[in-house]
Amino acid sequence: MAFSPHFLDELRARVGLVSVIGKRVALKRAGRVHKGLCPFHNEKTPSFTVNEEKGFYHCFGCEAHGSVFDFVMETENLSFPEAVERLAAEAGMEVPRDSPEERARSERAKGLYDVLEAAALYFEKQLRMPEGKRALQYLRDRGLTEETIKTYRLGFAPDGRGALKAALTKDGTPDGKLLEAGLVVQPDDDDRPPYDRFRGRVMFPILDGRGRVIAFGGRILDAGPGSNAPKYLNSPETPVFQKGRTLYGLYQAREHARDDPIVIVEGYTDVLALQQAGFRTAVAPLGTALTEDQIRLVWRFSREPILCFDGDNAGERAASRAAERALPILNAGHTLRFAFLPAGEDPDSLIRTRGRDAMGDLLNRAVPLSEVIWRMERAGKPLNDPDDRAWIEKKLKDQAFKIADETVRGHYLSTFKDRLWREMRKSRPATGAGGAKPASKSVQIDEAAGAGAKIDRISLRERILLVVLIAHPEMMDDIGEQLGILDFTSPELDKLRQEVLKTLEQRSDLDFQGLHDHLYQTGFSTLLGGLLSRQVLDHATFARPDVPLDIARRGWDQVLRLYQRDRLLAEIKAVEERLGKEPNGADFRRLVELKKQQQVQETDQLDAGPAETGSGTAA
């Protein structure tokens, strides 16, 4: 079975080489390529590379080499047609059957690339002609440099009904090709000749993944009084251009995406303004809301692209639509972040008025997708009664259950449940013993929970000590050594303690979510769920991730003192019981030593001040 080059190109773009190979090989980015252990021979040092930009894999050990189709053929023992059909099914694409019509369509598509390239060259030339002077001045007034104009191949379409048509037909291009490429429009009255689609506009060529011109966007320079001409006009869909599967600027952005996340903005000029300010990963959809195909396309180059929206109501609505479209296709390796511009600003105006650093700060503060979903459903709704709380909880669950990936869905459900619980606690007045409001305290521990609780007091404190570090990894330098010398009573908890300390020694950049995800993926999901449960966090509110660092540290120090006291008392009691049953010199000397330690502890406790507890009793 023969497949058209156009279909194979689109299929390669849809599935992504790294995405396909990454399902079988653990890949890590290394500069422009990804590396991993070769699946075709046994090796301990990675020599297998995947080059997404050039579309091939290569092993320097066994010389295995090929495309995405070769990889599927080799790893799954399939023929070429079978490999194409399997990948097409994954991508949701219908496999075109070989036919004279399909071969003719493929040939037409090939010819369209030549026509569109000729049009791009014509528009570029016109920008430098006398009739393009106003367009060139417009671009320069926007602050665009010659380098940017050349990099993005900006041009000008003269204000005449047949200027482009005349230039291209002179070189032998028939009207039919111009019409099929979307460059001219056929009047309803077929007796009249076609006329240029783009007239009096600054032209923005749209490129595919191979750098070929596939369409244009045009911004009008002067619509004139009473004109109904749109400010921006895009090419219609053609055999080589589907606007919902293409992003403006992606061809130029992708080579920089290995260093910075891709930033998705609203329009062409936003892309150019960001690019020129040094944000070289900016792209834009083509006059429509972001589609699922465009999200998947960006994920081929960027794990966490940033969507940049206006800070007004329209921007919030656009963010909500993008968030809802992303949920069903989320996976454990890819997500979205969202940045919101100040009201009345676009990227160009923000950079002009406040400088590059203001834009960089805005992008650095981009919020995760889960935050956008939370804002959508929470949005000032009351939590005063059970009906309000039940309704919001249902809405959040409905959003989370749109996520097909089971692992990601579980984390979203857990996050929403935990956050809603915190909000509900804030909405209820706090009470102490006898219903009175407790005294203002920065550290609270429920001492009464020790007796009769499912977790004994010592074990509870071990959990609190560990969860504080998990929630605040930035405290590692201050408390890591103290936590490292403790001997936890639970072997399983001690394994988790060692993993936390080892991980933070190696990865000082991890935040709470990053450490949480690592522990979840390394087999500690059940124990982690218990640590972050209400049973633990209700007794130590300072251990929560959203508590300021200084309060968390004071709480940790207090719990450590109480833990050391309880461990010492437990050992004294055990030694005294042994002496009561069978007096001996070794236990007697140990008891004397323990009593001395107890005196030192009590002196230190007096110096530190009384411990504070949630119940208001002295510790």
Q: Express as a percent the part of the chain with pLDDT over 90.
A: 37
Whether 615 is covered by a domain: the verdict is no
CA angle 66-67-69, nearest 5°? 115
pLDDT at 189: 72
pLDDT band at 57 (very low <50, low <70, confident <90, very high): very high
Lowest mean pLDDT among 44-53, 135-144, 188-197, 362-371: 188-197
275 and 152, same structural domain?
A: no
Residues 6+ apart with CB under 8 A from 618: 610, 611
- On whether both 69 and 115 belong to a single domain, the answer is no
The partner residues of 284 in beta bridges, in order of sequence, read: 248
Encoding tokens for residue 98? Answer: 């070989």
* Averaged pLDDT score across all residues of the chain: 84
Please tell me the distance from the alpha carbon of residue 274 to that of residue 287, in angstroms, as a whole number. 18
Identify the pLDDT of residue 101: 63
pLDDT band for position 105 (cuts 50, 70, 90): low
Domain contains 287 = yes
Domain harbouring 519, CATH code = 1.10.860
Q: Do 26 and 137 fall within a single domain?
A: no
Pairing of strands 201-207, 155-157: antiparallel
Quote the pLDDT of residue 586.
81
Take residue 317 and report the two structure tokens written for it: 């609505």
- The better pLDDT of the pair 213, 435 is held by 213
CA–CA separation, 574 and 39 (whole Å): 57
How sure is the predictor about 427, in pLDDT bands with cuts at 50, 70 and 90?
low
Which candidate, 619, 477, 489, 452, places its Cα nearest to that of 553?
A: 477
Q: Is 318 helix (H, G, I), strand (E, B) or coil?
A: helix
Q: Which pLDDT band, with edges at 50, 70 and 90, does 110 fall under?
A: confident
**C-alpha–C-alpha distance, residues 117 and 110, integer Å:** 11
Can you tell me the distance from the alpha carbon of 250 to that of 152, in angstroms, rounded to the nearest whole number?
11
Distance separating the N- and C-terminal Cα atoms of the chain: 80
What φ, ψ does residue 50 adopt, rounded to 5°?
-125, 120
User: Are both 525 and 457 inside the same structural domain?
Assistant: yes
Residue 437 lies in a domain: no
Amino acid 588: pLDDT: 82
Q: What is the pLDDT of residue 180?
A: 93
277 assigned to some structural domain: yes
234 and 262 co-located in one domain: no
pLDDT of 425 over the 80 cut:
no
* Average pLDDT of span 196-219: 94
Q: What is the percent of the chain with per-residue pLDDT over 70, rounded to a whole number?
A: 87
Mean pLDDT of 268-293: 92
Which residue among 35, 57, 91 closes a domain? 91
Cβ partners under 8 Å of residue 435, min gap 6:
none
Yes or no: say if 308 and 319 are a contact pair by the CB < 8 Å rule. no
Residue 352 lies in a domain: yes
SS3 280: coil
Assigned domain for 81 exists: yes
Q: Quick count: other Cβ atoms within 10 Å of Cβ 535? A: 15
State the pLDDT at residue 128.
Answer: 95
In a domain, 619, yes or no: no
Can you spell out the DSSP letters for 47-110? -EEEETTTTEEEETTT--EE-HHHHHHHHHT--HHHHHHHHHHHHT-PPPPP-HHHHHHHHHHH
Amino acid identity of 534?
A: R
Q: How confident is the model at residue 270 (pLDDT cuts 50, 70, 90)?
A: very high
**Tokens representing residue 114 in the block:** 């030549």
Q: Provide the domain count of the chain.
A: 4
Task: Tell the burial category of 462 from Cβ atoms under 10 Å away from its Cβ (0-12, 13-18, 19+).
Answer: buried
Cβ burial, residue 141 (10 Å; 0-12/13-18/19+): exposed
- Which residues are CB-contacts of 72 (< 8 A; sequence separation ≥ 6)? 20, 78, 83, 86, 87
Residues 543 and 405 in one domain: no
Domain boundary among 241, 276, 306: 241
pLDDT digit string (tens) for 213-225?
A: 999 999 998 766 6
Sign of CA dihedral 81, 84, 86, 92: negative
Residue 451 is predicted with a pLDDT of 33
Residue 616 in this model has a pLDDT that exceeds 50: no
Query: Strand, coil or helix: what is 382?
Result: coil
- CA 64 to chain centroid, in Å, comes to 32
Please check whether residues 83 and 111 belong to one and the same domain.
no
pLDDT average, residue stretch 84-91: 85
Domain of 48, CATH number, reads 3.90.580.10
The three state secondary structure string of 415-433 is: HHHHHHHHHHHHHCCCCCH
Strand partners of residue 202: 156, 219
Q: Are residues 420 and 379 in the same domain?
A: yes
CATH code, 181: 3.90.980.10
Residues 143 and 48 both lie in one domain: no
What was the pLDDT predicted at 195? Answer: 93
Asked whether residue 465 falls in the same domain as residue 526, the answer is: yes
Q: Which domain holds residue 10?
A: 5-91
**82 shares a domain with 120:** no
Residue 314's Cβ-side half-sphere holds a number of Cα atoms within 13 Å equal to 8
- Helix, strand, coil content of the chain in percent (nearest 5): 55, 10, 35
pLDDT at residue 181 tops 60: yes
Q: Tell the burial category of 72 from Cβ atoms under 10 Å away from its Cβ (0-12, 13-18, 19+).
A: buried
Asked, for residue 617, whether it belongs to a domain, the answer is: no
Tens-place pLDDT, residues 350-387: 998 899 999 999 999 999 999 999 988 887 677 777 78
Whether 329 and 366 map to the same domain: the answer is yes
Domain boundary among 211, 241, 271: 241
pLDDT at 605: 56
pLDDT at 183 over 50: yes
d(CA 229, CA 219): 10
